[in-house]
Structure 1
Amino acid sequence: MPFIAARQLTTIPAQFEQTLSAVPDKAAVFGGGESLTFRQLHAEAAAAAQALAQFGIRPGDRVGICMQKNLDQVVAILGVLWANAIFVPIHPVFQAGQIGHMVDDCDMKLLITDSTRIAELRDAAHGRIAVGHGPAEEEIASLKELRRKCQGNQPFFRSKADDTAAIIYSSGSTGKPKGIVISQRNLADGARIVASYLGTTATDRIASVLPLTSDYSLNQLWQILFTGSSLYLHDFIFPRDLFRLLASERITALPVMPVIITHMFDPQLVGPEDDLDFSALRYVSTTGGPVTATMLGHLRRTFPKSDIVLMYGLTEAFRSSWLPPDQLSARPTSIGKAIPEVELYVMDDQGQDCAPGVPGQLVHRGGCVAKGYWNAPEATAERFRQIDRFPGETVVFSGDLVRRDQEDYLYFLGRMDSMMKTHGFRVSPTEIEEYARRFDRLCDAVAFGIDNPEIGQEIAVAYTTTDRTPLASDALADHFRIGMPHHMVPRWFVHMEAFPATGNGAKVDRVLARRLSLEKIAALLSIGKAS
């Protein structure tokens, strides 16, 4: 599809309609041993939209979708869009209390979930609940059954590019999650832009490993609707099953996150058989955190002919940068350069550009900028700003501290609100973590500060290892003394068998990792006092 003409397709349904006319009988989505062609998927989405109207859903209403990944979930998502409503994706591991916060925060009119969770979530949804997958429940309406009765209805989509399509709640690792308001244009632009730099075409077969609840995983769905490629839904539990899927289905694209890579190559789990053929895999893409040298080594050995694409983004602007695969060996810690149709700036506190090597805040201008936070005007004004430099435009101040090199490649240093202050220096947790990962057998690290009135903060490092056994703290301290200045040598090293994950299951929950580490440190101190 020519990308210049595609710029005029500013909604997901408009992109889908064009693909439908080109490849109506091509398989679009595979899952659970079944599949839907683009024609069938379009018909099911239209039927779901009609069914939602019978539930009383009106344009602009918020509809939550908390389901395990399957074809019914895909249809429910598209049905909400076709009904001119706003879908709110909810990770299925969230508990009733967390879901209840989202229901109340956005005044959710309906929650669609699996039959197995109806009893648990009925009160959280204030009774406004429907079965999206599984057997119908007594006195609870089933979206799937209503879809059967609504087959043959024509879609009545009439939203515009700037209408709200989704509210995606942040992972909530700090405080209650905020809802990020995503427009139809955001979704359509994201599909087009990512497809352009990844080279996605109708021949691609994309593995859907992550839950369909984040902007990253949902973009894989938007890409197939835009390009005519195919999506293979996979519940990732055992690495061996994923490797078999990649080989048997000749998967060409594998979007993952660092925690997924770690699980794929967990030494305590069975890995790929020697006779599996991964030659069809064009690329492995990843975002959501740093990719360690150990992770890169695993990927390169297992998929020697595949590109590895590192990406960086924030839900407030979906995707900001990518590192072309030919730059990975030279710049393995870089988050790359701006994606097409986006400009990235490194600004100081006065809004001026920082010189190469000087840390500053990453500012995103151009495509994919969200509309703001739901019902949170103060938070929106802080993050989404209009500045004199770009009159009439809204840019996103990311809150991320970065630097750029002489060739304009960017490097993530940490969150601006997570910088440590010790011995009169500001220290980036990311710099500490990157250096820690150079130690043999150390897999991943989370650095944080512990208040100490004499020096400001002591540096602590929580870490995991490749074999899940602790390392000698003295050896780790020596490692830092050899290569880092005195003020950057950690005071504490805390071993964890595995890091906790956020509610979305895709990123390390740094807040919980810090709390668990502090509990371990407190226990060590109490033992020392007792002795």
Structure 2
Amino acid sequence: MIALDPHPYPIDMLPSRGAADAVALIDRAGTLDFAGLERLTGEVAAWLQGRGFAPGARVASWLPKTRLACVLPMAAPRAGLVHVPINPMLKRAQVAHILADSGAVALVTQAGRLASLEPGDVPSGCTAFDEGDVESADALPPSAADPDTLAAILYTSGSTGRPKGVMLSHANLWLGAISVAQYLGLTPADRVLGVLPLSFDYGQNQIFSTWAAGASYAPLDYLTARDVVKAVERLEPTTLAGVPPLWVQLLVSEWPEAVAFNLKRLTNSGGALTAPIIAGLCQRFPQAHLYPMYGLTEAFRSTYLAPDLVAAHPDSIGRAIPFAEVMAVRADGSQAAVGEPGELVHAGPLVAQGYWGDAERTAQRFRPTPAWAESGGMAVWSGDTVTMDAGGLFRFVGRDDEMIKSAGNRISPTEIEEAVVAGGETAEAVAIGVPDARLGQAIVVVARGDGTHEADLRARLRRDLPSFQQPSRYEWRAELPRNANGKLDRAALKMEVAS
């Protein structure tokens, strides 16, 4: 276990935490030790600096888990730039939105992905580069940036509208890495299998926390759960992080006993674990410690449940992680009593700097910490309702906004609705999340019309939206209900669809 260091450093200094000759990265190109990781980070940073971008310019990447994709989150900040990772599952319209919204000056991608974009998707002020062009004979030394300098913008769906960019500083990323490495007890002997997208704060932190502990990271792009089983057999990782839908798939997969025993640590976020999933994981991987966790991109992560508490408190999201203060707050701003529902508020140095270019939504979500709290400054007011028991353990009660959480992804219903009506098959639609045993929530679209063009609509959305945003079913109505203000009555539709 590493020592808990409360002093934040520039995020690109993480490679120096491992022994120089220890293995840092295991991928299709072979292995890379920490000395090689430091050198590669410096070379990519030098290449970026050589493009002549202004300090603080945004550099986007749209890549699978290549070696470059693993290094860019540190190399861009080392060059004085801001990294904007784009989920490789996103389609052209969503990529175009992120590039335009972030004001990216560069897009690092692959030829095939670039060919899938249409004229205008890459803004005129943005230059596209093939990842094969990124090389340099020079190398920049570690950054001396102020820890509060912006280092990354991670795009996440909001409850309304298009994805919004969460602004993360060097300190946010560094302290998140140290926090997770500490409470998971990661050591240089650990090997972490990376199945999570690197655009996901959970996946990006997995790299940082692994390297902060001097451990090895093995990225994996997979198509089926069987691919993950084979990777565990081939690479012998000690640690696997996932989201509930992946655990469901892995539990029904065939696991040779010796392979299952390779795993010593399982971590979960992106949705609550159900009692059957917990029981299944404990039975399949009896030697592995299970860490249920709750997180917000706006504060990276808020709580974790220690493995020795899982059996007795399977519905708990645990206590605050290191460097975080988490509290349940009443609507009037006072502290909720034990067992009383309140809004989860997260304070401390992990709180992000707000939403990129969106002062209005920043003001809604990032507000002053309650005066009675130990922390000062700004806090994230999550919009989620929790309770805290007498032992200080939190339990998630519900999500106050309209977000849909499916397959570990937070999905904006507005984004789905805009895509549904864009082709003219229907003029009005409401997207709703309904309970689903496999996905957590499935997307149901209630649309105005008779369904004559549903096949065309499904075919178009398969082209325009990634798999995790595809509606599972459609319900067609002659008219959609409205409230007294003339707006679509989402609450009434949700009650009808979920009943």
TM-score range, shorter chain: 0.7 to 0.9
Q: Which residue of 1 aligns with 2:111?
A: 115
2:165 maps to 1:179: yes
Query: 4+ runs of 1 displaced by more than 6 Å?
Result: 502-505, 520-523
Alpha-carbon contact 2:78-2:140 (below 8 Å) kept: no
Letter in 1 for 2:348: G
- Tell me which of 184, 205, 220 is aligned to 1:219: 205
* Counterpart Cα distance in 2 of 1:168 and 1:241: 27
Residues 8 and 344 of structure 1: CA distance in aligned 2, closer, same or farther (over 3 Å): closer
- Tell me which of 126, 142, 145 is aligned to 1:159: 145
Q: Which residue of 1 aligns with 2:155?
A: 169
- Aligned positions of 1:488-499 closer than 5 A: none
Q: Which residue of 2 aligns with 1:272?
A: 254
* Counterpart Cα distance in 1 of 2:255 and 2:392: 41
Residues 224 and 521 of structure 1: CA distance in aligned 2, closer, same or farther (over 3 Å): farther
Alpha-carbon contact 1:312-1:335 (below 8 Å) kept: yes
Q: Look up the SS of the partner of 2:260 in the other structure.
A: coil
- Tell me which of 43, 51, 57 is aligned to 2:39: 43
Deviates more, 1:41-50 or 1:307-316: 41-50
* Counterpart Cα distance in 1 of 2:25 and 2:9: 22
- Tell me which of 308, 314, 321 is aligned to 1:332: 314
Alpha-carbon contact 1:12-1:225 (below 8 Å) kept: no
Residues 503 and 14 of structure 1: CA distance in aligned 2, closer, same or farther (over 3 Å): farther
Letter in 2 for 1:99: V
* Counterpart Cα distance in 1 of 2:296 and 2:381: 10
* Counterpart Cα distance in 2 of 1:357 and 1:39: 50
Q: Which residue of 2 aligns with 1:3?
A: 3
Residues 327 and 118 of structure 1: CA distance in aligned 2, closer, same or farther (over 3 Å): same
2:377 maps to 1:393: yes
2:53 maps to 1:69: no
- Aligned positions of 1:103-502 closer than 5 A: 103-121=99-117, 123-126=120-123, 128-133=126-131, 142-143=133-134, 147=135, 150-155=136-141, 157-172=143-158, 174-265=160-251, 267=252, 271-387=253-369, 388-389=371-372, 392-418=376-402, 462-464=434-436
Letter in 2 for 1:115: A
* Counterpart Cα distance in 2 of 1:503 and 1:200: 37
What is the TM-score of this pair, normalised by structure 1?
Answer: 0.74
Unpaired runs of 5+ residues, structure 1, are 135-141, 420-428, 434-445, 449-459, 467-499, 526-531
Residues 321 and 166 of structure 1: CA distance in aligned 2, closer, same or farther (over 3 Å): same
Letter in 1 for 2:73: I
Q: Deviations over 1:133-162 (max 9, x none)?
A: 45xxxxxxx22xxx1xx2243426232100
Please state how far the C-alpha of 1:341 moved relative to its aligned partner: 2.4
Aligned residues: 431
Alpha-carbon contact 2:2-2:187 (below 8 Å) kept: no
Q: Which residue of 2 aligns with 1:88?
A: 84
* Counterpart Cα distance in 2 of 1:11 and 1:115: 32
Letter in 2 for 1:181: M
Q: Look up the SS of the partner of 1:352 in the other structure.
A: coil
Residues 522 and 305 of structure 1: CA distance in aligned 2, closer, same or farther (over 3 Å): farther
Q: Deviations over 1:459-517 (max 9, x none)?
A: x9845467xxxxxxxxxxxxxxxxxxxxxxxxxxxxxxxxx9x9897xx76xx75x845
* Counterpart Cα distance in 2 of 1:70 and 1:131: 15
Q: Which residue of 2 aligns with 1:16?
A: 15
Unpaired runs of 5+ residues, structure 2, are 414-431, 439-461, 481-492, 494-499
Residues 124 and 337 of structure 1: CA distance in aligned 2, closer, same or farther (over 3 Å): same
Q: Look up the SS of the partner of 1:216 in the other structure.
A: helix
Identical aligned residues as a percent: 32
Please state how far the C-alpha of 1:77 moved relative to its aligned partner: 2.9
* Counterpart Cα distance in 2 of 1:519 and 1:297: 39
Alpha-carbon contact 1:213-1:504 (below 8 Å) kept: no
Q: Look up the SS of the partner of 1:300 in the other structure.
A: helix
Please state how far the C-alpha of 1:101 moved relative to its aligned partner: 1.3
Q: Which residue of 1 aligns with 2:442?
A: none
Letter in 2 for 1:227: A
Alpha-carbon contact 1:76-1:132 (below 8 Å) kept: no
Residues 517 and 338 of structure 1: CA distance in aligned 2, closer, same or farther (over 3 Å): farther
Residues 464 and 399 of structure 1: CA distance in aligned 2, closer, same or farther (over 3 Å): closer
Deviates more, 1:164-173 or 1:57-66: 164-173
Rg larger for: 1
* Counterpart Cα distance in 1 of 2:436 and 2:378: 40
Q: Which residue of 2 aligns with 1:27?
A: 23
Deviates more, 1:314-323 or 1:301-310: 301-310
Letter in 1 for 2:269: T
Deviates more, 1:315-324 or 1:292-301: 292-301
Q: Deviations over 1:167-193 (max 9, x none)?
A: 011135642011110000000000111
Letter in 1 for 2:170: Q
Deviates more, 1:115-124 or 1:349-358: 115-124
* Counterpart Cα distance in 2 of 1:361 and 1:173: 17
Letter in 1 for 2:122: A
Please state how far the C-alpha of 1:72 moved relative to its aligned partner: 2.1
- Aligned positions of 1:511-526 closer than 5 A: 516=473, 518-519=475-476
Letter in 1 for 2:380: V
Residues 32 and 328 of structure 1: CA distance in aligned 2, closer, same or farther (over 3 Å): same
Calculate the aligned-residue CA RMSD, in Å.
3.1
Alpha-carbon contact 2:345-2:382 (below 8 Å) kept: yes
Alpha-carbon contact 2:320-2:326 (below 8 Å) kept: yes
Please state how far the C-alpha of 1:301 moved relative to its aligned partner: 2.5
Q: Look up the SS of the partner of 1:49 in the other structure.
A: helix
Please state how far the C-alpha of 1:264 moved relative to its aligned partner: 2.3
Please state how far the C-alpha of 1:211 moved relative to its aligned partner: 1.3
Please state how far the C-alpha of 1:9 moved relative to its aligned partner: 4.3
Residues 520 and 43 of structure 1: CA distance in aligned 2, closer, same or farther (over 3 Å): farther
Letter in 2 for 1:329: A
Residues 153 and 354 of structure 1: CA distance in aligned 2, closer, same or farther (over 3 Å): closer
Q: Look up the SS of the partner of 2:153 in the other structure.
A: strand
